[in-house]
Amino acid sequence: MKVYSLKCSKALGKEVIEEYRALQVIDSKYVFGREHLEFAFSQAEKAFQRKTNISKDLMMEVLVRASAQRQIKKALEIYGVQNSKLIYALGEELPKELLDDYGCVEAKPGIDERKYEDLVDKFEVTVEEIGAVAGAGFDERVKALKEIIKERIALLEAM
């Protein structure tokens, strides 16, 4: 499974999910990066192996794990494409038609202060949690946030 980060000139909506069933298309707003989704994918696979999966579909399980939510509805609210131009796509390969139809090119997303705050809010990370493992520098806080999100994903199994 590969994770693609894309910037599209035409917004994608729910129709893309119907049209490209071999892909999981995710709004990028609350995705830390490729590593976030790769970790969620590995946790989803483990859930299926252990028979502790929440969803019957592996790709939906990836969304559930990535969101650190036990409810599919909430995972879809967080990651569902709704007029999204910055997306992640999970699949074996990207269909050329998707790239052409939506004007998508590979993106190199980063974490700026706004995205950092969005992720902190969405994953309900406290200042104390960040402070316990990071210094005051932005790069240190970003690294700490990444690890906390991964921890939340892993702990979903215990909830």
Question: With bands split at pLDDT 50, 70 and 90, how would you rate the model's confidence at 159?
Answer: low
Question: With bands split at pLDDT 50, 70 and 90, how would you rate the model's confidence at 149?
Answer: very high
Q: What is the mean pLDDT of residues 114-130?
A: 94
- How far apart, in whole angstroms, are the C-alpha atoms of residue 60 and residue 16? 15
- How far apart, in whole angstroms, are the C-alpha atoms of residue 125 and residue 9? 32
pLDDT at residue 134 is higher than 90? no
Q: What is the pLDDT of residues 11-39, one digit of tens each?
A: 999 899 889 888 899 999 999 999 999 99
Looking at residue 18, its pLDDT comes to: 86
Looking at residue 48, its pLDDT comes to: 96
Q: What is the pLDDT of residues 40-52, one digit of tens each?
A: 999 999 999 999 9
Query: Are the beta carbons of 90 and 2 closer than 8 angstroms?
Result: yes
Number of DSSP helices (H) and strands (E) in the chain, helices first: 8, 4
pTM, 2 dp: 0.90
Q: Residue 75: which of 94, 95, 61, 58 has the closest Cα?
A: 61
Q: What is the pLDDT of residues 55-112, one digit of tens each?
A: 999 999 999 999 999 999 999 999 989 899 999 999 998 999 999 999 999 999 889 9
How buried is 101 (Cβ within 10 angstroms: 0-12 exposed, 13-18 middle, 19+ buried)? middle
Q: Residue 89: which of 75, 106, 77, 103 has the closest Cα?
A: 106
pLDDT at residue 139 is higher than 80? yes
**Domains by residue range for the chain, with CATH:** 2-158 (3.30.2380.10)
